[in-house]
Amino acid sequence: MISKSALKKWGGISIAPIIAQLGLVEVASAQGGLGEITVTARKRAESLQESPISIQAFTAEAIERRNITDVSQIGEFTPNLVFDRAAAIGGSNSSAVAYIRGIGQDTAIPTIDLGVGTYIDGVYLARAVGGVVDLVDVEQIEVLRGPQGTLFGRNTIGGAINITSKKPSEEFGGEASVAVGDDERLEGRLSVNVPLADQLFAKASVLARQRDGYVIRPDGTDLGNEEMISGRLALRWLAADNLEFNFAADITSKDENGAPFVLIDVEETAAFTQFYNAFIAPPGACFPPPSSVTDPRCSNSQWLSTSGKNEFGTEPAKDELDIWGVALTGEWQVSDWLTLKSITSYRDTESVFSLDEDHTPHSIASVITDFTQEQFSEEIQFLGTAWEERLNWLVGLYYFQEEGETFESIVFSPVSFRSGGVYDNDSIAVFAQGTFDITDQLSLTAGVRYTEDTKRFTPDQVVFSNNNALVPPFLLGFGPGLVPPSPPSGTPILPPVEAKVKFTNTSPMVNLAYEWTPDFMTYATYSQGYKSGGFTQRIFPPLPAVPSYKPEEVEVVELGFKWTGFDNSVRINGAVFNTDYSDLQIVVQDVTVAPVVRNAGAATIRGFELDVLIAPNEALLIEGGLGFLDAEYDAIDPSATVSVNNKLVKTPKWSVNGAVSYTFDLASLGGLTPRFDWSFRDAVYNNAINSPQIKQDSYHLINAGLTFESENGLWVASLLGKNLTGEQVISAGFSDVVNLGVSEVIYSRKQEWVLSLKRRF
């Protein structure tokens, strides 16, 4: 545990008020100016303005002001962050697809690691499924841009999202709230803090939400609905003056109807669509193309979703998710200069989700996924000071192990089969970082990380049935789509033998920070990042061995500044960076039916972030953020079937946001605060081959709200509106015009209103 005096001496800077980030401030202090936010991104409590990294932090108050209910929604307010809640070729509406500065991942299969790491109280969430965390009793969310390997247990090549929960305290209290909104939305929250003894405190929280979906099938099934309950129990024990334990248990259960994908394009000449129309539909009714768009026996453009609110699939629609986990954190201040910290956790995830991928009443393409995962991690940190607290240092040891299985029951018009298998992964790492105050103004930080990853995958994939008997042999290769002969029932798609790969990596970091004045600091950072390699799980037609791919690596140079001025009423933070990105892992649809992961080649990503916050008085708050990305491939492996001129996935050139709020003093009644939010995102492509069908053009979002808070702060009522102009925004998409012949997308909800009432006690 680091003393306040040590914090004040870091870099020779006295801790000055904080944050130049969007929505990250408390209300102005009694003396005017901006409130302070403390961050723990560098594993010690310090002012955000004194942390020489590109970071954005959302306080609990900022989360509430924006009506952010799950972690994916922070992407709307964070420059150079894209965070979607569904992955292609699935049906889960809780699969985290996050990109920071153009680095992330766009698939939810467990044999590929995440490009952006999510942590809850220091515990890494290893898989995308279940990664869209519902926010229950959250103290703060920090978004760290760029590689974060020398302080975090797991490698995070693109950046990290660090979620901190509220700890139990010695005072009895809590809050209860209820919210209603569009689509029959009903949400309730309850949080109670109870002191159990002089040194033992407990906190229990629960969240329940239900809401109708916004994509309707002919049978009345509503896709995109919400039906969930989540709870958390936290215990805090002050065992001694220098010893503290924090235990947390959480559970989440969802029973929903699946992600709201809709069909926006059909290619009748694609292999599977053409196969259905030629050999499964009544003879001569739907083949040759084009078929009649008035004949419901055919698969063609009559099944497109013209409004984005309808879908015609008949295969099962479900999205079931059950997650629970426990974590124990112990912190022992061994001496004035040494603290020992341990983070032990176990998490269990089970999910079943489905997708009718052709979105028609016909059986052309569908998938049902059964996913399980168990993970255990142990992280030990040694934190200390030396040389009269001029040196702050940390040494960490990390062990991670996970195992699970994922099986996909896949039905295509020519063939049906099972994909997936059993995976078993472990990782060990040693990391260290130290900050030395060379002078009162100049500090040097250096760190290094060594990682050893072992990946194992045992396929359990077999052909269930095939329809080749319907097809004359000379027609098995009609064009332009190719329908390869399907192997007979019972044929293994991959040998049921464990495949194993092992990767090691050493990643350094060095940072130099200089405080020119107490209110102005600049820094320069060089860092390397790494993401482990793995296996391609989805295979068809059969292959003799499991294909694997190599790790990704990045080298990042970043220059930044943090400035506070005008009597602590203005904050401006900025960073410019250059990323050399090699061995990119991309998902491509090439010569095989299944999408495969390949190391595409190399890319360069340049850009900057700028965050501005202005609080000229206690009532007025003006916020803004600006992000720019210039990303391009430098070289492409020919086997990746991606052009060097293609754009990187989910990498907008410009991302801009701004907000203004003003609190009117209603004397003894309390305060009334209207708020206006605006954001802009440039165009993005949703897959590596840049399919134009699922490209999201640039768009603007406008939100507004009105909040009343009583004078004593016990009552809070809010009316909040999102996407007031009704923009139709693609949040996920998949396109295969060669084999499946479909292009499908998820549109986010249009205009939304929510009315909430909170009572604190």
61, 362, 747, 755 from 182: Cα distances, Å: 23, 32, 16, 10
Least reliable range by pLDDT among 6-15, 69-78, 312-321: 6-15
Which tens digit of pLDDT belongs to each residue from 630-678?
Answer: 999 999 988 777 889 999 999 999 999 999 999 999 999 999 999 999 9
Decide: helix, strand or coil at residue 649. strand
- pLDDT higher than threshold 60 for residue 428: yes
> Once rounded to an integer, what is the mean pLDDT over residues 165-192?
96
Whether 570 contacts 562, CB under 8 Å: no
pLDDT value for 482: 47
Model confidence at 8, pLDDT cuts 50, 70, 90, reads very low
> What pLDDT was estimated at residue 7?
32
Q: What type of residue is 396?
A: G
Map tokens 């507004």 to a residue: 704
| List of E strands, 637-729 | 654-662, 664-665, 670-681, 699-710, 715-722
- pLDDT over threshold 60, residue 30: no
| Per-residue confidence band for 91, with pLDDT thresholds at 50, 70 and 90 | confident
- Contact at 8 Å (CB) between 153 and 400? yes
Look at residue 398 and give its three-state secondary structure. Answer: strand
Identify the residue with better confidence: 130 or 3: 130
User: Stretch 699-703: mean pLDDT, rounded?
Assistant: 96
pLDDT score recorded for residue 471? 62
Q: For position 446, what pLDDT does the model report?
A: 97
- pLDDT tens digits along 36-83: 777 776 777 777 788 899 999 888 888 888 888 888 899 999 999 999
Host domain of residue 306 = 4-760
State which of 247-251, 414-418, 537-541 shows the largest mean pLDDT: 247-251
* Residue 3 confidence (pLDDT) above 50: no
Token readout for 20 is 């130049």
Whether pLDDT at 576 is above 60: yes
Instruction: List 674's β-bridge partners, or say none.
Output: 706
Q: Domain containing 126 — which CATH number?
A: 2.40.170.20
Which one, of 595, 72, 88, 95, lies nearest residue 319 by Cα?
95
Q: What is the pLDDT of residue 151?
A: 85
pLDDT of residue 106: 86
Average confidence (pLDDT) over 589-607: 82
Predicted confidence at residue 33, as pLDDT, reads 60
| Structure confidence at residue 26 (pLDDT) | 39
Count of structural domains, the chain: 1
- DSSP label at residue 468: G
DSSP 3-state of 50: helix
| 521 pLDDT above the threshold of 80 | yes
- Could you please report the per-residue DSSP string of 494-505? S-SS-EEEEEEE
pTM of the model: 0.91
Q: What are the tens digits of pLDDT across the range 466-511?
A: 876 666 544 544 444 445 556 788 999 999 999 999 999 999 999 9
For residue 711, the SS3 value is coil
The length of the chain is: 761
pLDDT at 5: 33
Question: CA end-to-end span of the chain, whole Å?
Answer: 31
Q: Look at the block and give the residue holding tokens 């390997």.
A: 149
CA distances from 129 to 94, 346, 351, 451, 695 (A): 6, 16, 8, 24, 24
Supply the pLDDT for residue 419: 94
